Amino acid sequence: MPPLPVDKLSDAQKKAIDEFKAVRGADISGPFVPLLRSPEVMTRARAMGDYLRFKSALPPRLSEFVILLTARKWTQNYEWNAHAPLALKGGLKQDIVDAIADGRRPAAMQPDERALYDLVDELQRNQSVSDPTYANAIAAVGEQGLVDAVAIVGQYTMLAMVLNTARTPLPDGAKPALVPMPK
**pLDDT tens digits, one per residue of 10-69:** 999 999 999 999 999 999 999 999 999 999 999 999 999 999 999 999 999 999 999 999
| 85 and 38 both lie in a single domain | no
C-alpha 138, offset from chain centre? 21
pLDDT at 155: 98
176 occurs within a structural domain: no
State percent of the chain over pLDDT 70.
Answer: 100
Cα(183)–Cα(180) distance, rounded to whole angstroms?
9
| 38 and 66 both lie in a single domain | no
41 occurs within a structural domain: yes
Residues in CB range of 107: below 8 A, 6 or more apart: 95, 99
pTM summary value: 0.95
pLDDT at 172: 86
Torsion of CA 58, 62, 64, 70, to 10 degrees: -100
| 121 and 75 both lie in a single domain | yes
Give the count of domains, the chain: 2
Residue 153 near residue 70, CB atoms below 8 Å:
yes
**Closest residue by Cα to residue 19 from 3, 5, 35:** 35
84 occurs within a structural domain: yes
1 occurs within a structural domain: no
Domain that holds residue 32: 10-53
| 84 and 41 both lie in a single domain | no
